[in-house]
Amino acid sequence: MESMKLFKWIQKQFASWMKKEDEVQSLFLKELINATKRDKDDPNGHLTIREAESIIVQILLAGNDSSASTMGSAVAELARKPDMQIFLRENPDRIPDFIEEVLRLESPFNGHFRKVKKEEGITLHGQHLPKGTRVMLLWGSGNRDEGYWKNPEEFSIERENRRSHLSFGSGIHSCLGQKLARLEVKVVLEELLKRTQNIEIGQTSGKLKYLNSTFVRSLEKLPLRLSIKQK
């Protein structure tokens, strides 16, 4: 429901930006507007208005929900592992490795739909998928594939292939904001570890609950009990 409200707002705003293009300050928005005015065979690329609106929605959603979800998962993992907290306070240069393992085990997106584009289709594990077949790629499942990962259910920051997870996609579908996302989570963890002596899960009636969603992996809430360092 909230996503639909956002999309309708973007549609209204984009129509306004197109009418008042001279007042638009963002180079990104200007390029999107220009792309909708180009011919379909223009080498610089053409976008329909709907495609331009979808790109804006994608940038807004991907730059907020996924980063927040990863931060929550990372802090929850720290709270469950007091020894890891001590290690990372003493070795802050290993925080990026910790983040990669969080991304592997707790991918902020469970998966996305894709369509087979090859004319001849594609065969995966003996199953032929003709062109146009709609499939859902499960990043979270791939990140725990025992055929690729050693002890996939185990949390370890010592994995040599730790950056080979699928949480940021791959190829032409690689996440454009992955460097920013990693930096955001890194800064949050650095500051949290710097300012606390201990991080624990706060009062809860049981296991932490995740949103009931096919696509996203995000905690409903994360109660914490923090022991603040004395200055």
Q: Residues at the annotated binding site for heme?
A: 175
Q: pLDDT tens string for the chain (231 positions)?
A: 566 788 889 999 999 999 988 888 899 899 999 999 988 888 888 899 999 998 888 888 766 778 899 999 999 999 999 999 999 999 999 999 999 999 999 999 888 888 999 999 999 889 999 999 999 999 999 999 999 999 999 999 999 999 999 999 888 888 888 998 999 999 999 999 999 999 999 987 678 999 888 888 999 999 999 999 887
For the chain, what is the largest distance between any 2 Cα atoms, rounded to a whole number of angstroms?
Answer: 66
The reported pTM is 0.81
Give pLDDT, residue 1.
53
Give pLDDT, residue 146.
94
List Cα–Cα distances, 74 to 81, 93, 98, in angstroms. Answer: 11, 16, 8
Torsion of CA 217, 98, 185, 163, to 10 degrees: -80
Q: How far apart are CA 132 and CA 147, in angstroms?
A: 28
Residues 6+ apart with CB under 8 A from 193: 78, 85, 88, 89, 92, 95
3-state class (DSSP) for residue 101: helix
Please answer whether residues 107 and 139 qualify as being in contact, where contact means their C-beta atoms are separated by less than 8 angstroms. Answer: yes
Give the length of the chain.
Answer: 231
Q: How far apart are CA 77 and CA 85, in angstroms?
A: 10
- In the chain the domains, ranked by start, together with CATH numbers, are 1-62 (no CATH), 82-228 (1.10.630.10)
Give pLDDT, residue 2.
65
Q: Residues at the annotated binding site?
A: 175
Give pLDDT, residue 88.
98
Strand ranges for 5-118 from DSSP E: 111-115
What letter does residue 208 receive in the DSSP assignment?
P
202: number of Cβ within 10 Å: 12
